[in-house]
Amino acid sequence: MTRIKHLEESEMIKQQESIKQTQKINELEENIKYLTEKVTYLKNRGRRDNLRIIVVSSYLFSSCHFRYMFKHYQHFLIFQFAVDEINKDPHLLPNITLGYQLFSNFHSNELAVENSLIWLSGMGPTIPNYNCEMQHKSVAVIGGISSILSMAMATMLGLYQVPQVSYGPFDLLLADNVQYPHVFQMGSRESTLHLTVIKLMLHFGWTWVGLVISDNMRGEQFFNNLKEEMTTSGMCLTFMERIPQNMGLEYDNSFKLFSKIISSSSNVIFIYGNTDSLNELSITMNDFNLYGKLLITTSSWDFSSDFTKEMSPFHGTLIISQIKREIPGFTDFLRSVKPTVNTEDIFLKSFWEIAFNCRLSKKGTLELLDSFCPEGVSFEDASHIHLDKTIMDLSYNIYNGVYLLAHGFHQLLERHGNNSFFSHGVTNFSPYLQLHRFLRCVNPDLDDKDELCVYAARMADERYDILNFKSFPNHKNTQVKVGEVIGHGKELSIHEEDIEWPEEFAQTPSSTCSVSCGPGFRKTLQEGQPICCFDCTLCPEGEISNQSDTEQCLKCPEDQYPNKEKDRCLPKTVTYLAYEEPLGMTLTVVALSLSLLTTLVLGIFVMHRNTPIVKVNNRSLSYTLLTSLTLCFLSSLLFIGRPTPATCLLRQTTFAIVFTVTIASILAKTITVVLAFRATTPGSKLRRWLGTRVSYLLIFICTLIQMGLCGIWLGTYPPFLEMDTQSEASFIVFQCNEGSLVAFYCVLGYMGFLALVSFTLAFLARNLPDTFNEAKYLTFSMLVFCNVWISFLPTYQSTKGKVMVAVEIFSILVSSAGILICIFTPKCYVILLRADRNTLSILKSKANP
């Protein structure tokens, strides 16, 4: 029973609270009706004469709900402050009192048109073309808060060419100078907003984002600008959706939109539009959970209307806002505004009681409030929910609009004088048309160089703040500045440590289609996918990428090479076949050893020059052959060490000439063997060809031909020193370029031709008696020589750098060693170990078996 009783009491309390809330709303509606009946009031501040200019402001409450009143009441306060400040300025509009009339249209197009007609006709009946209030001179209108209201007012005010200053966000429709020639917008054109968005997203690496825009021309223009810039910056849109009209009334439209957002693979969603469409989106958003999505939007979104949840779904949202302005003296003005002082302000009493939840008198705005307002409180004590003390876009536009008109009036009065401006019956002067000339300065499409534009030009400063929306329990929220963008969207300064991301993100959110390609890789686009979706491919050999997400790898300079990670270039080391390295040292030792061995053989032959085996095998040719072989071994040393232009010219030609002498000597020995066998018959004429002079003449002719070929080579396209940067990846090879390859192969071919002739003759003489068995050794030596150099050609062509040099040295040493071993080893064996066989009797016995 006790539990049921408590439940009944709880239900009764809820019903009472509901009744109180309903009564509060009813009281507020009655109060607004009262305000509508008292639709105007006049504020006058005395000066030295009684001439007055009346500025009409189409001030509005966008909804009957009190939270919109809180949001927009600052517009009136900043307007009132600007007028009072101008009236106190002795240099701006001297002897003139600036006044105003205030009309509220409650965000209704019909009321906007009606109030415009009331203002034109006076406070009496709304009769077109008649003005029943002639004691004051009204010259301009400031309003309205949205482009829809401004258009509604312009339909009436435009007929009379009344200057209309719109302080709402800039709208392309109102920029039509043909349809709305007398409407001048104070709102920023947001010409660099898309650049600011790009700069912000590039800073955080968000290349895969979703976009939601309002379904109007403003949204379409922003989408076109953003899309073009995103393509240039390598960014992609996951999706683009428009906020449907009256989306709150049709659940299907809301479901489709938020389903697209929730299912998107992008973690970052940018939302752009006017205040009305964004408020509809905000209300509908309470039915959906955008978990894992970071929202980015502009200050057109009125976050103060989100009171439906304990913690706002917008916590962590980034807001791009026109830079906050500091207006000197406005804080002091807020301290001075009190209901007891400003008794004629019919709005202040209602706002004061609602903001501080108290009553100013027995009959307050809300009769249900019990406590009376304490003394000493001011607007500084009001929370941000009730009054945003920060000077935001629209408030600053109003402030600038009032000053723009005041400066325009001031310039006109200086030109024409007060009497001319206010005199009745002067038909050749229209203050409206004169004022238009000055107001044209705020239109960025016009290139007006008039001196009247000086003040308006100072207001054309488009800078943006980056705000972070932070929400706390008990409906407390704030917007913290975390960065700014200046210089036409080019310079971004942001403090990431001050940003609070949505609670589902432990760190800075990422939003990319593909994982970023690190240095050493390049992006390869996926077929059929946007440019933001790609694979990472390792850079090819010889190329690097030192940045992330590069589309093309870069080649290293010729004197550098890529490291293993292929993210930077390292300087190449100069290299060549040096004496100090193992290969060079080994070849040097082998060449010197073989040259010493050949010299030793030559010494043996000289010491035993009178023995039969030395005499029979043509002693002089043997000396020549051994000497040329020694030079062949030593010529290989020209290929080792750092090459110079001189060594490049000498090494191939020296090798060719010395080797030609060697082969020519073998050819002479072979011919001598053949002729000696043929000339054994008595009286043979071949005996005269067996002389030493004939053999040396043959060697000389063969060598002279080779020298001629080398001379032609050196005279046409000689070898030269070059730096080979391609053969070895991490080295610059100092080497000799052979110059004319045709000449080089002609030289080698000539030596091959001599070797082939020698091999053929020796092969034919291989079966001669043992006394002349040198033919067999000559055959084997030429066989080794030909095999070595035939193998050399393809190997030489397939190698590069210092390995190619080593191949040629190896071929020189092997071929020379083959000749030495095949021809002279048997003779040295007989001379040194079988002296018993090195006698004339043995030779004769073998010759006559």
Helix (H, G, I), strand (E, B) or coil at 436: helix
Nearest to 265 by CA among 523, 530, 551, 466: 530
pLDDT of residue 9: 46
Show the tokens assigned to 489. Answer: 């969207």
Residue 5: pLDDT band by 50, 70, 90 thresholds? Answer: very low
Show the tokens assigned to 10. Answer: 């709880």
43, 52, 97, 355 from 48: Cα distances, Å: 16, 11, 9, 38
DSSP code string of 22-45: HHHHHHHHHHHHHHHHT-------
To 10 degrees, the CA torsion angle through 561, 562, 568, 573?
-30
Q: Is the pLDDT of residue 835 over 80?
A: no
**Torsions phi, psi of 306, nearest 5?**
-95, 95
Ranges of each domain in the chain: 38-189+328-421, 193-326+463-498, 521-571, 582-847
170, 172, 317, 611 from 598: Cα distances, Å: 100, 100, 91, 19
The fraction of the chain above a pLDDT of 90, given in percent, is: 15
Counting DSSP H helices and E strands in the chain, the numbers are 23, 22
Pair 679, 686: CB distance under 8 Å: yes
How does pLDDT run across 67-91, given as a tens digit for each residue?
Answer: 555 567 778 888 889 999 999 998 8
Helix or strand run (H / E) with residue 150: helix 147-157
Residue 367: pLDDT band by 50, 70, 90 thresholds? Answer: low
Q: Which residue's entry shows tokens 């054994």?
A: 680
474, 597, 662 from 699: Cα distances, Å: 114, 24, 9
Range 641-648 contact pairs with CB under 8 angstroms and sequence separation of 24 or more = 641/576, 641/577, 641/578, 641/579, 641/584, 642/576, 642/578, 642/734, 643/576, 643/721, 643/734, 643/735, 643/736, 644/721, 645/720, 645/721, 647/736, 648/718, 648/719, 648/720, 648/721, 648/736, 648/737
Cα angle at 311 between 310 and 315, to 5 degrees? 160
Q: Is the pLDDT of residue 680 over 70?
A: no
> Within 10 Å of residue 29's Cβ, how many Cβ atoms?
11
How does pLDDT run across 560-584, given as a tens digit for each residue?
Answer: 889 988 999 999 888 888 888 899 8
How does pLDDT run across 218-240, given as a tens digit for each residue?
Answer: 888 899 999 988 988 888 999 99
Q: How far apart are CA 335 and CA 366, in angstroms?
A: 24
Pair 637, 620: CB distance under 8 Å: no
Domain 38-189+328-421: CATH architecture, name and number where available: 3-Layer(aba) Sandwich (3.40)
Q: How far apart are CA 171 and CA 217, in angstroms?
A: 8
Residues 6+ apart with CB under 8 A from 249: none
**Torsions phi, psi of 734, nearest 5?**
-80, 120
Q: How far apart are CA 22 and CA 17, in angstroms?
A: 9
pTM (2 d.p.): 0.61
Q: Which strand ranges, in their side-by-side order, compose the sheet holding 491-494?
A: 236-243, 208-214, 268-272, 294-298, 318-322, 464-472, 476-486, 491-494
Beta strand pairing call for 208-214 and 164-166: unpaired
pLDDT of residue 544: 92
Query: N- to C-terminal Cα distance for the chain?
Result: 150
Q: Is the pLDDT of residue 423 over 60?
A: no
Q: How far apart are CA 328 and CA 521, in angstroms?
A: 55
Chain mean pLDDT for the chain? 77
pLDDT of residue 237: 92
Q: How far apart are CA 662 and CA 669, in angstroms?
A: 11
Residue 318: pLDDT band by 50, 70, 90 thresholds? Answer: very high
How does pLDDT run across 278-299, given as a tens digit for each residue?
Answer: 777 877 777 788 888 999 998 8
Range 820-823 contact pairs with CB under 8 angstroms and sequence separation of 24 or more = 820/594, 820/597, 820/598, 820/601, 820/626, 820/629, 822/777, 822/778, 822/780, 822/781, 822/784, 823/625, 823/666, 823/774, 823/777, 823/778, 823/781
pLDDT of residue 597: 94
What are 493's strand-pairing partners? 484
Beta strand pairing call for 720-724 and 731-737: antiparallel
pLDDT of residue 298: 87
Q: How far apart are CA 791 and CA 795, in angstroms?
A: 7
Domain 582-847: CATH architecture, name and number where available: Up-down Bundle (1.20)
Task: Please check whether the two domains, 193-326+463-498 and 582-847, share a CATH topology.
Answer: no
Q: How far apart are CA 617 and CA 620, in angstroms?
A: 9
How does pLDDT run across 482-505, given as a tens digit for each residue?
Answer: 998 876 656 888 999 999 999 889
Least confident segment among 147-156, 222-231, 377-386, 661-670: 377-386
Strands (E), 252-317: 268-272, 294-298
Residues 6+ apart with CB under 8 A from 284: 247, 248, 254, 258
How does pLDDT run across 25-58, given as a tens digit for each residue?
Answer: 454 444 444 444 433 333 333 333 433 444 444 4
Residues 6+ apart with CB under 8 A from 66: 28, 354
Residues 6+ apart with CB under 8 A from 100: 43, 54, 55, 56, 57, 79, 83
Q: Is the pLDDT of residue 790 over 90?
A: no
Nearest to 524 by CA among 201, 239, 514: 514
**Torsions phi, psi of 605, nearest 5?**
-65, -35
Q: Is the pLDDT of residue 796 over 50?
A: yes
Q: Does domain 193-326+463-498 have CATH number 3.40.50.2300?
A: yes
Pair 547, 519: CB distance under 8 Å: yes
How does pLDDT run across 797-806, given as a tens digit for each residue?
Answer: 888 878 888 8
Residues 6+ apart with CB under 8 A from 332: none
Q: How far apart are CA 207 and CA 511, in angstroms?
A: 6
pLDDT of residue 24: 46
